[in-house]
Amino acid sequence: MGAFKIIPEFYEDEALEMYIALHDGKNFNLDPNHRAFFEKFPKDVKGHLIDVGCGNGRFLKHAKEAGFEIWGIDFDKKSVEVAKKRLGVDTIFAMSLEEFYEYAKKNNLKFDMITFFEVLEHQDRPKEFLSMVKKLLKDDGYIAGSVPNMDRLFHEIGWKYFHGDFPPHHFLRFSKSSLEKALRLSEFSQVQVYKLDFPFKEIFPHIEKKLFGNLDSLKIRLKAWVTGSERKARVYAVEELSKVSSKGYAVRILKNLRNLALLPLAIFYIGRLKGMGINLYFQAKKGFFKYEV
C-alpha cells in the first residue's frame, strides 16, 4: 500500500463545506476545542505562539487578545490571505510545517507555544510531525491542540454521514488513551488529555440522521432559496439567514419545529453528554517522559 498524502488542493478547492466558510472569513467564533485552551492552559505562560493549521486565524485572533505574540502557518493559501487581512499581521505564512521549519532554522526562531487544532489526525507521518514541532519549541515550551474523539457520542453516525473523518481529509483516529500514548512516546511531559462534553444543540442533527438518513441536500436547497446561491447556502447557518432575507425566518421556524419534534429523544441523551464530545483537547510540555509498557 502506498503512503497517505495530504492534498492541499482538497482544501483550497473547498471539497468540504467548512472551507467555504473559512475562505469567506465569516466565522471567527471559538469552538469548544479552542475554548478549552483558554480555560485549561496555564495563565502565566505567554510569549511567541505559532498555530499550525491556523486556517482563517480565528484562534489566533483570540490568542492575540490574550497577550500572545502570534504566528501561523497553513498550506491553504486562501485561508492564510483571510487571516493576514483580518488580523493585520505579516507573521502568517502559506507553508507546510516542513517548509516553515527550514525558514525558522534560517531565522533562528523558537516558540514558547505551538498549537495545532484538528491537525494531527491529518498527518500521514505523525511521529515526524511531532518531532518537528518539538524542534521548533524552546526548551521549556508547550504544545496544545485537539483531535476528533473516536469514542464520541454518535460516532457511528458521524462516520457514515460526515465524510471528513476519512482520507484524503483524516488519516488517523484517536481515543484519549491512544493520544496520551502518542504524545508520551514522542517524549512530551506533563501530558494532559481532556474529553470534552458533547454540545446539546448538536444532538438534533445526529438524531435526525439516525432516523431519516442524510437530508443535507434538502437543507441546502432550502437555504439556497433564501440566499439565491448554493455556495452561500453552504456557508450560512440557519440562524443567520434572516439577515439575508425575510424568507430566512421560515427556514428557522422549520428548524425549531424539527428540534421540538425530536426533543423527547434528545432528552434521553442528556445523561450521556459528559466527556463524549466531538473533540479531545490536549496540552503537554517539551521534556523527556520515560514510557513504561
Same domain, 43 and 17: yes
- Tell which residue, 41, 82, 89, has the closest CA to residue 64: 89
How many domains is the chain partitioned into structurally?
A: 2
Where in the sequence is the domain holding 232, given as residue range(s)? 201-272
Among 4-8, 76-80, 200-204, 261-265, the minimum mean pLDDT is found in 4-8
Q: Examine residue 1 and state whether it is found in any structural domain, yes or no.
A: no
Position of cell 511521529? 127
Q: Rounded distance, CA 254 to CA 256, Å? A: 5
φ and ψ at residue 68, rounded to 5 degrees = -80, 150
Q: Is the peptide bond before 168 cis (omega within 30 degrees of 0)?
A: yes
Position of cell 432528552? 267
Q: Examine residue 2 and state whether it is found in any structural domain, yes or no.
A: no
Same domain, 146 and 29: yes
Q: Rounded distance, CA 120 to CA 113, Å? A: 16
Same domain, 187 and 167: yes
Same domain, 212 and 98: no
Q: Examine residue 130 and state whether it is found in any structural domain, yes or no.
A: yes
Half-sphere exposure in the Cβ direction for 183 (13 Å, CA): 26
Residue 9 in this model has a pLDDT that exceeds 70: no
Same domain, 135 and 152: yes
Same domain, 186 and 53: yes
Same domain, 182 and 238: no
Averaged pLDDT, 277-282: 96
Same domain, 140 and 228: no
Could you tell me the pTM of the whole model?
A: 0.86
Same domain, 16 and 63: yes
CATH of the domain at 23: 3.40.50.150
Same domain, 90 and 163: yes
Same domain, 184 and 240: no
Same domain, 209 and 185: no
**103-135: string of b/e by CB count within 10 Å (b at 16+)?**
ebeeeeeebbbbbbbbbbbbbeebeebbebbbe
What is the four-CA torsion angle of 214, 220, 223, 229, rounded to 10 degrees? 180
Q: How many other β-carbons are positioned within 10 Å of the β-carbon of residue 219?
A: 18
What percent of the chain lies above the pLDDT cut of 90? 69
